[in-house]
């Protein structure tokens, strides 16, 4: 699997640097997500629009708030990239509520917002991988069960590698503070793809 990721980055994208640049939209969306969640926590209208007005969302279910965040951060535009990012945001917020069962989506702590951004990044990287080569994995697997198992392993590997990249940056003093989320995520993506590409050697 590691060799497969290495080949994917080196051959499919032409190297870690190109892959990270091609995923620039992920970093931008991560910044928008972090900004939206910060605005909600501060009780302010998000720059993403009226759909994230805390006073309007007060009393809404977690599912309704997640839908509003997804629509505001990554509106539908008919592209596969947008749909993959929307799924990644929704999955990240669901994962957040699993990790922090008592979390209030309208008032997330800094730790919870960081987790959401990191989780979104991992989900979006995997979704891009799935869009690019998932069908091939499914077709070459001896059974549907095997294909699902391989994709599940790939998703967990991506999550672990992305998480390690964020930990490395945090240890170096680069944190997901307001205004720096996009920059930090870009670096995390570069580090992640460097790790992937290394397995092609």
So what's the pLDDT on residue 47? 62
Which residues in the chain come in under a pLDDT of 50?
A: none
> What does the alpha-carbon distance between residue 187 and residue 174 come to, in Å, rounded to a whole number?
10
Residue 2 has what DSSP assignment? H
Cβ(118)–Cβ(187) below 8 Å: no
Provide the CB-side half-sphere exposure for 1 (13 A, CA): 13
Residues 40-75 have pLDDT tens digits of: 998 887 665 556 888 888 899 999 999 999 999 999
Residues 172-192 have pLDDT tens digits of: 988 887 678 889 999 999 999
Closest CA to 172 of 189, 196, 188: 188
So what's the pLDDT on residue 46? 65
> What does the alpha-carbon distance between residue 94 and residue 96 come to, in Å, rounded to a whole number?
5
Give burial (CB, 10 Å; 0-12/13-18/19+) of 84: buried
Give the predicted TM-score (pTM) of the model.
Answer: 0.89
Furthest CA-CA distance within the chain:
54
Q: Residue length, the chain?
A: 201
Residue 58 has what DSSP assignment? T
Tell me the H-state helices in the chain: 2-7, 16-22, 24-41, 54-57, 62-73, 80-99, 110-129, 135-140, 144-171, 181-198
Closest CA to 120 of 170, 61, 176, 41: 176
């Amino acid at each position: 699997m590691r060799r497969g990721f290495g080949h994917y980055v080196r051959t499919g994208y032409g190297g870690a640097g190109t892959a990270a640049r091609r995923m620039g939209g992920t970093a931008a969306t991560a910044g928008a997500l972090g900004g939206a969640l910060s605005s909600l926590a501060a009780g302010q209208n998000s720059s993403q629009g009226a759909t994230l007005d805390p006073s309007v969302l007060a009393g809404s279910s977690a599912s309704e708030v997640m839908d509003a965040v997804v629509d505001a951060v990554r509106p539908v535009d008919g592209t596969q990239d947008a749909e993959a990012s929307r799924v990644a945001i929704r999955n990240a917020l669901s994962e957040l509520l699993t990790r922090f069962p008592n979390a209030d989506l309208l008032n997330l702590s800094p730790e919870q917002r960081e987790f959401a951004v990191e989780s979104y990044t991992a989900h979006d990287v995997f979704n891009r991988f799935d869009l690019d080569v998932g069908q091939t994995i499914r077709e070459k697997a001896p059974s549907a069960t095997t294909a699902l198992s391989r994709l599940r392993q790939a998703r967990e590997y991506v999550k672990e590698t992305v998480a390690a990249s964020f930990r490395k940056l945090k240890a170096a003093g680069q944190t997901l503070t307001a205004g720096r989320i996009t920059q930090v995520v870009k670096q995390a993506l570069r580090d992640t793809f460097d790790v992937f590409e290394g397995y092609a050697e």
